[in-house]
């Protein structure tokens, strides 16, 4: 029992150190962001960067555009998801960082818990390696998914106000592109920079409807798709664009209000589902990282792998059921 206290204490110290560094970094980044201009695009333009380079930086061209086949499509989806999370890192660089972090964690755990000690089996080393990749990958996924959810939520909350600005500008006699330009000057990220990219694409030769479609695809927001479709239909059939956008802003605000009510009612279930999803994988990986003999000693048992397979199947079924329970369409 006393032999387990030292590994647990070391892990707790490691977790506390990571949380402390993250807190300091978050405070520094938030202080820096307060010193910046309204949004990132305006800050880059004010620094003297050419408009074309700003556009190429913010548009985050897909890393899989030059790779064919399924690998290119996977990299393209990863790049799109990272862009929707507000991260400028490329998928290949992210995978390289995760690989380096996994190897570092594996070496650290191997030296601390004796995986490299004389007499240790290769199975222990491989089990620890798999556990390291699992822990680092799970941590990365949780961080990126939270950043994606947070940025998408902020963008959808900003969109009704942006539509109000566009509506008032159109009623004052501004062209629709000039009205969108006002949003880029008055609102912060993410909506300010994303609308700035709409203006940039229109300047570089895209049709306004096509630029809106790219905006909706870039952000992954259903409300952004509603906005793009509404403007596209109005351009083909005619009508009062200001009234259409005003009604759309009202609908989006109603959806946000309803969504917050649904999230409040389902918050306990969502948190329970998150814990039940992450905790088993984390605990299994932690035990495999610190005490690989706990699993490797059972590899020769004929019942071990069938039970592992059955457990994995039940876990996947549980994930599907929980996902259907806690996610609502509204």
Fold classification of 111-330 is Receptor-associated Protein (1.20.81)
Q: Which residues are within 8 A (CB) of 23 and not within 5 positions of it... i.e. 6 or more apart?
A: none
Q: Shortest CA distance to 227 belongs to which of 149, 181, 160, 172? A: 160
> What residue segments make up the domains of the chain, in order of their start?
111-330
Q: Is 244 in contact with 223 (CB distance < 8 Å)?
A: no
Residue 47: φ, ψ to 5°: -70, -10
> pTM above 0.85?
no
Signed CA dihedral, 160, 165, 170, 174: sign only: negative
Taking each continuous run of H as one helix and of E as one strand, the counts in the chain are 13, 0
Long-range contacts made by residues 84-90, C-beta under 8 angstroms, separation at least 24?
84/148, 84/151, 84/152, 84/218, 84/219, 84/220, 85/144, 85/145, 85/147, 85/148, 85/151, 86/147, 86/151, 86/189, 86/190, 87/144, 87/147, 88/57, 88/60, 90/63
* Distance of alpha carbon 232 from alpha carbon 224, whole angstroms: 12
Q: What is the pLDDT along the chain (330 residues), one digit of tens a residue?
A: 445 545 555 555 565 565 566 656 555 555 454 444 456 666 766 666 676 666 666 665 544 445 556 667 888 888 888 888 888 888 888 999 999 999 988 888 887 776 655 556 778 888 888 999 999 999 999 999 999 989 999 998 999 999 999 999 999 888 888 888 888 888 888 888 888 888 888 888 788 888 888 888 888 888 899 888 888 888 778 778 888 889 999 999 988 888 888 878 777 888 888 888 888 999 999 988 888 888 888 888 888 889 999 999 999 999 888 888 877 665
Distance CA(13)–CA(107), nearest Å, equals 17
The pair of structure tokens assigned to 308 is: 């592992």
Do residues 57 and 83 touch, judged by C-beta distance below 8 A? no
Rounded Cα gap, residues 90 and 67, in angstroms: 14
Between the two ends of the chain, the Cα-to-Cα distance in Å is: 51
């Amino acid at each position: 029992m006393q032999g387990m206290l030292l590994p647990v204490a070391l892990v707790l110290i490691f977790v506390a150190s990571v949380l402390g560094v993250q807190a300091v970094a978050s405070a520094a980044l938030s202080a820096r962001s307060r010193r910046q201009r309204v949004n990132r695009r305006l800050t880059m333009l004010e620094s003297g960067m050419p408009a074309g380079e700003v556009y190429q930086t913010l548009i985050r061209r897909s890393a899989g555009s030059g790779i064919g086949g399924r690998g290119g499509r996977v990299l393209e989806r990863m790049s799109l998801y990272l862009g929707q999370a507000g991260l400028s890192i490329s998928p290949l660089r992210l995978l390289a960082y995760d690989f380096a972090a996994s190897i570092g964690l594996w070496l650290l755990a191997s030296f601390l818990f004796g995986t490299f000690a004389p007499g240790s089996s290769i199975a222990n080393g491989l089990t620890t390696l798999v556990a390291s990749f699992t822990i680092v990958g799970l941590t990365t996924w949780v961080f990126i998914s939270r950043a994606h959810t947070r940025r998408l939520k902020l963008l959808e909350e900003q969109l009704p106000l942006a539509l109000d600005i566009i509506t008032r500008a159109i009623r004052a006699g501004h062209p629709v592109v000039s009205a969108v330009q006002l949003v880029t000057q008055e609102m912060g990220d993410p909506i300010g920079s994303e609308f700035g990219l709409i203006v940039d694409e229109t300047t570089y030769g895209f049709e306004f409807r096509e630029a809106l479609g790219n905006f909706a695809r870039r952000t992954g927001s259903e409300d952004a798709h509603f906005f793009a479709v509404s403007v596209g239909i109005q351009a083909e059939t005619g009508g009062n664009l200001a009234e259409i956008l005003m009604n759309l802003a009202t609908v989006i605000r109603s959806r946000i209000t309803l969504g917050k009510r649904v999230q409040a009612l389902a918050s306990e279930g969502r948190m329970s589902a998150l814990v039940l999803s992450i905790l088993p994988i984390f605990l299994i990986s932690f035990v495999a990282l610190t005490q690989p003999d706990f699993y490797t000693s059972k590899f020769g048992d004929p019942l071990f792998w069938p039970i592992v397979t059955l457990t994995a199947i039940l876990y996947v079924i549980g994930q599907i059921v929980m996902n259907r329970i806690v996610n609502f369409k509204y």
